Amino acid sequence: MEKVFRIPEDGELPLVGCITFGLIDRGTNLIQTRPISGCNLNCIFCSVDEGPKTKMHVTSYVVDLDYLMEWFAELARLKGEVEAHIDGCGEPLLYPKFIELVSSLSDMKEVKTISVQTNGMLLDEGKIDELVEVGLNRINLSINALDAGLAKKLSGSENYNIKRIIEIAKYIAQSKIELLIAPVYIAGLNENEMPKIIEFAKGLGCGRMWPSLGIQNFEAHRFGRKPATKKITWWKFYRVLDQWEKQFGIKLKLTTKDFGIHKAPSLQTLFERGEKIRAEVKAPGWMKNEMIAVAKDRCITVVDCDNDINDEIKIKILQNKHNIYIAEKVK
């Protein structure tokens, strides 16, 4: 079971630098907002092995709302008009103050769009009504199969009820919140479900401002779960999308322009790959044998590290893309 680490209650960590919590800036007007890690499902294709049955992760994180908003406001001022996309390595609706988070983002003049990626398990009609009131604009809803048995298998949970998720999808589509159905195409497992999902999305009449479907291609990741199936190439994946576009008369090959995403001022990269620096250990890592260190107001995940909190260590930066830092200890 993962130990919960609360930020800043258990330690005032910067909210830039880690992929698991805080804010991710990929050089566009979209700010990935991650208030919590952890998941309520155990999807057999999960790219990060999250959920109650995780074998990789030992820590989950919960970020204080006011602290998160302080950091968000600073980044939004740098960028101008932004979309706040609430997602995470897991299920963001697990965040205890999710409604308050959406409300706080809605009150910011820079925030023009608020969206969330969710498996829908924690949604009900009452919560959707609340989210309408506080200003949520779009829900990206993960539906990977309409067949009840296959849906349970893919989710890794007997509690997953696709009939209830379908009811929720219909309710969202009739509300002021835009709905985007976001399935993962897994060749050999759910390809026969994709046409059904496309027809379902078309029947809902969603897609007023943004696309109604965002089909993703399954990719096997180093630390993710890998179902017994063969990944198809991106070339073949786009050929399949071409066929479905012609068959169903709907756009499926999407770009950032479909969501109004464009380049915007970005945070400066503070550490270069190969650079050696000193940092202070401040929190347990997401995975076994990792710790999170801090330097220059950035979090840095240090692999193969068993130091104690507040230890000062010397590290070498291994990765720095999008201000997400991974390092190793050096002598």
Per-residue pLDDT tens digits for 3-18: 999 999 888 899 999 9
Q: Residue 104: which domain range?
A: 3-259
Q: What is the CATH number of the domain that holds 75?
A: 3.20.20.70
Q: What band does 229 get if pLDDT is binned at 50, 70 and 90?
A: confident
Torsion of CA 111, 174, 217, 36, to 10 degrees: 50
Question: Is 269 domain-assigned?
Answer: no
Question: Is 285 domain-assigned?
Answer: yes
pTM of structure: 0.96
Phi-psi region of 95 (alpha: psi -120 to 50; beta: other; left: phi over 0): beta
For residue 162, what is the enclosing H or E element? helix 162-173
* pLDDT attached to residue 223: 83
Residues of the chain above pLDDT 90, percent: 93
In this prediction, residues 252-258 reach a mean pLDDT of 96
Domain termination residue (choose one: 259, 289, 321): 259
Domain termination residue (choose one: 210, 232, 259): 259
Q: How far apart (Å, rounded) are the C-alpha atoms in residues 221 and 107? A: 37
Q: How far apart (Å, rounded) are the C-alpha atoms in residues 178 and 83? A: 14
- With a CB cutoff of 8 Å and minimum separation 6, the contacts of 249 are none
Neighbours of 6 (CB within 10 A): 12
Q: What is the CATH number of the domain that holds 299?
A: 2.40.50.140
